[in-house]
Amino acid sequence: MRDRIRSRAVGAMLVVLALVASACGDDASGDGTKEGPTITVGSFNFGESLILGEIYAQVLEANGYSVSRTFNLGSRELVYPALVSGDIDLLPEYTGSLLTFQEGVPVPDEDETYAAMVAAITTDELVALDYSPAQDKNGIVVTGDTATSLGLTKVSDLAAHNGTLSFGGPPECPERPLCLLGLQDLYGLEFASFSPLDAGGPLTVAALEGGDIDVALLFTTSGVIAAKGFVLLEDDGGLQPAENVVPITTDEIIAAYGDDLVALLNAVSAKITTSGLTDLNKGYDIDAEDADALAREWLQDNGF
């Protein structure tokens, strides 16, 4: 475990020294491995997090960093303390969810949510790197046939069909501001009926595919969107708060490795898109491919 008793001033000084050292010459050992602490990459206990963890772990290994993995840790209530204590050193997170966990209020604006999240984790001696374009949040989905026949590309398009379409989602959806209540208040949508199903799970997928409902609440990176040819409608009114994928690390790791590490991970994050994550999740959830193989192929395809 990391020593938590050092001051912020000392941490800042270490950052400066590490940056100077990295600028002055090669910090690698004779076998190509960079000199510094092993970076333990963690993940939550769902497929997307495993894939993201592998992407960051593998690109670090390929660039000479010593890496270990501690995956499938569980929920944020378990994973965040492990990050703060130093049991893990790098974690793919989500801006809005992490801010909410820190008792903040995320908003649709990506930069605003990110800035608030950064401020919320600073006192825990954690560092947020650049957030990626990819977001995993509530999504309003229709079948490809419905999108084509009704000319639907964004959520506001549904208003032209008020009173004619059925909606399905989790049972609590009618009372949730990010679900049916928000769709009514922000977009003025009125559905002919609501079917209480599950939270983006197999019941909702089966009902949408089978025609029992016309519109469904799924998650924006769900593998079934690509697998079933569903269409994710653009949240053009900005109902959902930002949930960008963002790697979180510690000031100790930044102090040890400096600019090179930051630049590498930021370059990777810049290539992670919502549609790309959807394809990766399809590979994991539908096609039963291994997370490490999916990550390796993604890195190769994206020039890493």
Chain centroid offset of residue 272 CA: 9
Helices 274-281 and 47-62 cross at an angle (nearest 10°) of 110
Averaged pLDDT for residues 247-263: 97
Residue 8 has pLDDT above 60, yes or no: no
Residue 207: predicted pLDDT:
97
- Rounded Cα distance between 170 and 173, Å, is 5
Residue 29: predicted pLDDT:
52
- Rounded Cα distance between 136 and 40, Å, is 24
Q: Is residue 162 a contact partner of residue 284, using CB atoms and an 8 Å limit?
A: no
pLDDT band (50, 70, 90) for residue 24: very low
Residue 21 has pLDDT above 50, yes or no: no
The predicted-structure confidence for 216-242, as pLDDT tens digits, reads as follows: 999 899 989 888 999 999 999 999 999
- Rounded Cα distance between 300 and 271, Å, is 12
pLDDT band (50, 70, 90) for residue 110: very high
More confident residue, 201 or 162: 162
68-72, 129-133, 138-142, 172-176 — which is least confidently predicted?
A: 172-176
Element (H, E) at 223: helix 223-228
Residue 12: predicted pLDDT:
37
Averaged pLDDT for residues 112-140: 96
Closest residue by Cα to residue 143 from 226, 208, 192, 219: 208
Averaged pLDDT for residues 290-303: 97
- Quickly list DSSP for 64-112: T--EEEE----SHHHHHHHHHHTS-SEEEEEHHHHHHHTT----S-HHH
Residue 119 has pLDDT above 50, yes or no: yes
Residue 30: predicted pLDDT:
56
Token pair, residue 267, equals 């370059």
The domain 8-135+242-301: what is its CATH number? 3.40.190.10
Token pair, residue 25, equals 């010459």
* Residue 181 neighbours by CB under 8 Å, 6+ apart: 174, 175
Q: Which amino acid is present at 279? A: D
More confident residue, 5 or 98: 98
Residue 139: predicted pLDDT:
94
Residue 45 has pLDDT above 90, yes or no: no
Closest residue by Cα to residue 244 from 130, 129, 111, 135: 135
Residue 100: predicted pLDDT:
87
- 8-135+242-301 shares its CATH topology with 138-232: yes
Residue 32 has pLDDT above 50, yes or no: yes
- Rounded Cα distance between 23 and 251, Å, is 18
Averaged pLDDT for residues 97-101: 91
pLDDT band (50, 70, 90) for residue 178: confident
Q: Is residue 96 a contact partner of residue 241, using CB atoms and an 8 Å limit?
A: yes
Residue 276: predicted pLDDT:
92
Considering the chain, what is the average pLDDT of its residues? 89
Closest residue by Cα to residue 35 from 43, 44, 26: 26
Residue 10: predicted pLDDT:
32
More confident residue, 39 or 288: 39
What is the dihedral angle through the alpha carbons of 270, 273, 277, 283, rounded to the nearest 10 degrees? Answer: -90
Residue 9 has pLDDT above 90, yes or no: no
* Spans of all domains in the chain: 8-135+242-301, 138-232
* 256 three-class SS: helix
Residue 11: predicted pLDDT:
37
- Rounded Cα distance between 271 and 134, Å, is 9
Residue 3: predicted pLDDT:
36
55-69, 76-90, 247-261, 276-290 — which is least confidently predicted?
A: 276-290
The domain 138-232: what is its CATH number? 3.40.190.120
